[in-house]
Amino acid sequence: MIDNQLLKTTVKAADDKRAEDIVALNMKGISLIADYFVICHGNSDKQVQAIAREIKDKAEENGFDVRRMEGFDEARWILVDLGDVVAHIFHRDERSYYNLERLWGDAPVEHIQSELS
């Protein structure tokens, strides 16, 4: 069960657009950038963009600020900065190349299964 509403909103939005292999890393005490990283991927440029757009829209609908979104046009790795949560939406091919889960391997993985359909 996730107790952070922004994290819950982000994970649910990604899942609603059929993002694959959604992982939430608890970055507290590890990174000054954000409390959580959400990492997922889509299988096409259009799906990657749809996931990012859904995260942005759902965050705004729930009163959260979207600080910036980068990489949308290229749709290879879109970064959505929501403040306490940063979402990394990859194209499938790029995800394994950058392998953020290994890079941040010391970050605990949040249990998000209850939020996924």
pLDDT digits (tens, 9 = 90+) for 70-85: 999 999 999 999 999 9
**Ranges assigned E (strand) in the chain:** 20-26, 36-42, 68-70, 77-81, 85-91
Rounded CA separation 25/103 (Å) = 11
Find, among 5, 2, 29, 3, the residue nearest to 82 by Cα: 5
pLDDT at 116: 73
Go through the chain and tell me how many residues it has: 117
Domains of the chain, each with CATH number or no CATH? 5-104 (3.30.460.10)
Q: What is the pLDDT of residue 102?
A: 87
* Residues of the chain predicted below pLDDT 70: 1-3, 117
Tell me the β-bridge partners of 68: 81
Residue 67 to residues 41, 56, 64, 111: CA-CA distances in angstroms? 21, 10, 9, 25
85 token code pair: 């949560």
